[in-house]
Structure 1
Amino acid sequence: MGSKRVFITGGASGLGRALANRFADAGYSVCIGDVDDGRGAEALAELKAKGQAHYVNCDVTKEHALQSAADWLLSNWGGVDIVINNAGVASAGGIAEFSMDDWEWIVNINLLGVVRGCKVFTRLMREQGSGHIVNIASLAGLIYPPKMASYCATKAAVVALSETMSLELDADNINVSVVCPSFFRTNLAESVRASDADSQAATQRLVNKAKLGADEIAGRVFNSIEKGEFYILPHPEGRSIWRLKRWLPFKRYRAMMLKQTARMMTNKRKG
C-alpha cells in the first residue's frame, strides 16, 4: 500500500461521509463502516471515483463487527494508519423523563461503540508499531446544557476515554485525538430519541439552523488530524465558551448558562 489508510465508522452519511471524502481528496485509501448498506453503496461509489475505497457493514454495538473490519484491513491493505470512531446517535430530554431503555441505547452506541473501536484497533496498531485513533465526541462532552444529560454524559465519557488513551498509548507510538464540534448541519437529527416533542423539535432546530455544514467541519477536522492535535474544536465559538468554563468561577459560569437557557426558551416561544 503506497497511500495512507483510514477507517471511519458511521462513514456512510453525515460527518463520517464528509470526512471520508475529505481523506479521499487527499489521496488516502478510505474504508468506511456503517449499518446502512444502501447509503454505504452510495458513499462507496463517490469514494471509488476518487481512489481506492472499501465498504464494510459494521455495527459498533458488536465487537466482532469491528474485529472483522480490522481483519479485512490487515489482510487487504496491510493495516490502517488512522481510525475514526465516528458512529453516534443523538438524544434529548429531562433527567426524570428520559427512559432507562433509551439511556442504555445511547450508551451502547456513543460510548461503548467507541470503546469497542479503540479496543480492537489498539491491538492492531500495537502490532504494526504505529497509528492514530480519532474519537468523535461533541462540544456537549465539554459543555453541558440542560435536557441533554444522556447525550452529554456519553460524549464527556468519550473525552475522558481519549485523554486516558493519549497517556496510555504514548509508548506504543499511537496518537490519539478527540473531536468536539458544536451543532452543524447533518443528518444526526434523524437518529434522535427524545423524551418529549419539544425536546425533539429543539434538537432538530439547532441542527438545521447551524451555520456550518458537515463538509466544512470535515475540512477543519482533517487539518487538525494532520497536525496531530489532541483536542479538536472546529467551531471558534465552541473554543471560546470552553475557555470561559475553564477560567470562570463555576457560580459565574452557571449564571451565564442559565441566562443563555432562558434566552433560548424565550426565542422558542416567540418562534
Structure 2
Amino acid sequence: MGLLATKSSCSYAAARVLVTGGCSGLGQALVKLLVADAARVLVGDVHAAAPEGSLPPGVDYLRLDVSKDEDWDAARNWVESTYGGLDVLINNAGIAAGGRIDVADMDEWRRIVDINLLGVARGCHTFVPMMKQQGSGQIVNTASLAGLVHAPAMASYNAVKAGVVAISETLRSELAPSGITVSVICPSFFRTNLAESFGGKDVDMEASGTEMITKAPRSADQVAAVAFAGMKAGKFIILTDRDGHIAYAAKRFARPVYDRAMLTAGKRVGKGTTPVPPALDKLRARFAKPGPRGDGEARS
C-alpha cells in the first residue's frame, strides 16, 4: 500500500491516510482530493462527531485533540487495529494567533505552542515508529508562509510555524534512511474559517488578521490543489501562491530589500493595523513579473 509512483504518474490509491483538522479549511479540501484519488482516509478533529456534510462518504472519523497525548494514543490504536498501518500522516490541525509582543499574553503563547507546534511533534512521535517498521511513509506538515517570512506583530504565530518548518527539515534527513519522506506546506493567507480561532488580547491585530483571511484572493480548494500536487511530487517546501514565492525569494536573494519592506511595515504596528499587506505590496512591486494566466513569479 502507500503512494504508488512511476516516472509518469503517482497516486494515493489505497494509501492509508490520517488528516488532522480535516473537517474544514485546507484539511477538508485535502481530504476531498485524497478521496477522489481513492485513498482510505481517517480524519481527526476536535468535534465529538464530524459535522454533518463536512466529509465525503466513506471517510472515517475519530475525535482527536492534537494537544492531548491520550487522543494520539487512541488514534494509533485505531489505525493499527483498523488499517493495519499508516502510509501518510498530514499534520494539519492548527489555530490562528497574532499580536504585538507587549499585548499578547503568555496564555496565548502556551495555547498556540501546544496546538500548532507540539501537535505536529506529537503526531510525528506517535506514527514514525509505525512507518519505520513498515519501511515507508510520508509525513506532510502544514506550516505557513509565516514559517519562512516573519512579519511584525505576529511573533507567536511566526514562532510556531517556523518551528514546524524546522521539525520538517530535521525529519526530512533523519527519516530518509527509513524510507519516509517529509513535506511542509507554506501557504500565504487564504479564505478559511481559521479566523474563528482568534481569541487573544490584541484585538486590533486580530481584527486586521481576520479581514486578511476573509478577503484573501485564494480559496482553500485552490491552495489544496497546489499542495496536493507538491505532495505527490515529493517536494519538501511547498509554496502554494505567488505571494509566497515572492516573499521567500526576496528574503533569500535580496535581503536588504526584504528588510526595508519589513521595517517599513513595522511602523504600522503602533497604529493598530496589520503590517503584512504593505510589506507584500512592496515586495510584489519590486520582484513580481507577469506569469502564465496573469499570475506572477519571483525574480531570483
Same fold by TM (over 0.5)?
yes
Q: Deviations over 1:204-224 (max 9, x none)?
A: 001011011111111111111
Aligned to 1:12: 23
Aligned to 2:169: 163
Contact 1:87–1:110, Cα closer than 8 Å, also in 2: yes
Find the partner of 2:160 among 136, 147, 154.
154
Contact 2:153–2:269, Cα closer than 8 Å, also in 1: no
Find the partner of 2:85 among 72, 79, 84.
79
Look up the equivalent residue of 2:14 and give its one-letter code: S
Within-5 A mapping of 1:105-254: 105-249=111-255, 251-254=256-259
Identity %: 44
Look up the equivalent residue of 1:5 and give its one-letter code: R
Tell me how far apart the structure 2 counterparts of residues 20 and 217 of structure 1 sit (CA, whole Å): 13
Specify every segment of 5 or more residues in structure 1 that has no aligned partner in the other structure, as ranges.
none
Tell me how far apart the structure 1 counterparts of residues 117 and 147 of structure 2 sit (CA, whole Å): 11
Contact 2:98–2:157, Cα closer than 8 Å, also in 1: yes
Tell me how far apart the structure 1 counterparts of residues 63 and 263 of structure 2 sit (CA, whole Å): 43
C-alpha displacement of 1:79: 1.2
- Segment drifting more, 155-164 vs 22-31: 22-31
Q: Deviations over 1:39-94 (max 9, x none)?
A: 44532xx421xxx3200000101122112212212211121211100010011111
**Per the alignment, do residues 59 and 19 of structure 1 end up closer, same or farther by CA in structure 2, a change over 3 Å counting?**
same
1:255 equivalent in alignment to 2:260: yes
Q: Deviations over 1:6-27 (max 9, x none)?
A: 1100111111111111111111
Aligned to 1:36: 47
Q: TM-score, normalised by structure 2?
A: 0.83
Q: Deviations over 1:148-185 (max 9, x none)?
A: 10000000001001000001001110000011000000
- Segment drifting more, 214-223 vs 112-121: 214-223
Tell me how far apart the structure 1 counterparts of residues 118 and 35 of structure 2 sit (CA, whole Å): 28
State the superposition RMSD in angstroms: 2.1
Which portions of structure 1, spanning 4 or more consecutive aligned residues, are displaced by more than 6 angstroms? 263-267
**Per the alignment, do residues 178 and 255 of structure 1 end up closer, same or farther by CA in structure 2, a change over 3 Å counting?**
same
Q: Secondary structure at the match of 1:133?
A: strand
Look up the equivalent residue of 2:201 and give its one-letter code: S
C-alpha displacement of 1:265: 8.8
Contact 1:91–1:150, Cα closer than 8 Å, also in 2: yes
Contact 1:30–1:47, Cα closer than 8 Å, also in 2: no
**Per the alignment, do residues 266 and 107 of structure 1 end up closer, same or farther by CA in structure 2, a change over 3 Å counting?**
closer
Contact 2:204–2:272, Cα closer than 8 Å, also in 1: no
Q: Secondary structure at the match of 1:92?
A: coil
Tell me how far apart the structure 1 counterparts of residues 229 and 77 of structure 2 sit (CA, whole Å): 28
C-alpha displacement of 1:196: 2.3
Q: Secondary structure at the match of 2:153?
A: coil
**Per the alignment, do residues 180 and 37 of structure 1 end up closer, same or farther by CA in structure 2, a change over 3 Å counting?**
same
- Segment drifting more, 33-42 vs 94-103: 33-42
Aligned to 1:47: 56
Q: TM-score, normalised by structure 1?
A: 0.91
Contact 1:8–1:20, Cα closer than 8 Å, also in 2: yes
Q: Secondary structure at the match of 1:47?
A: coil
Tell me how far apart the structure 1 counterparts of residues 200 and 271 of structure 2 sit (CA, whole Å): 21
Specify every segment of 5 or more residues in structure 2 that has no aligned partner in the other structure, as ranges.
2-12, 275-300
Tell me how far apart the structure 2 counterparts of residues 265 and 244 of structure 1 sit (CA, whole Å): 25
Q: Secondary structure at the match of 2:235?
A: coil
Tell me how far apart the structure 2 counterparts of residues 96 and 117 of structure 1 sit (CA, whole Å): 32
Tell me how far apart the structure 2 counterparts of residues 23 and 252 of structure 1 sit (CA, whole Å): 40
